[in-house]
Amino acid sequence: MTNIFLSYRSEIEDWRCGLAQLLHPVPVPDDALACPVFVRGMEGVVLCIGTDRRCDVHSTVLGIRPGKDGWLHIYCPSSDSCADGGTLWCQVVSYSTGRLRFAEVCVKNTLHFVI
């Protein structure tokens, strides 16, 4: 039941852009990111945002600036917060392969965590 409000909003395409912008700087405390229940509850939200066809939406799963982790970093297989073995990360990255700029940033910012 965690994040049911965010989950519902992320499924509605018209609301996804605003929600993505709101969540872009990862506005949650580190304690929440260490909580498996919270992280699992956000998976659907991050998946909807990360696989949206619009660049201004799916790019918000990346860090807001260099050195600042984004949602994609949180679900990276080597992250302490990753509770799904990297499944979500793989889905978002594989979706992005046709989007050169997004894929380039993904590789630059997150792939080194996996290798």
pLDDT at 100: 61
pLDDT at 47: 94
Structurally, how many domains does the chain consist of?
1
107 CB neighbour count, 10 Å cutoff? 12
63 CB neighbour count, 10 Å cutoff? 19
**99 falls in which pLDDT band (50, 70, 90)?**
low
Domain that holds residue 33: 4-114
pTM of the model: 0.82
Among 28, 78, 70, which residue's Cα sits nearest to residue 50?
A: 70
Cα torsion through 21, 88, 62, 69, rounded to 10 = 110
**108 falls in which pLDDT band (50, 70, 90)?**
low
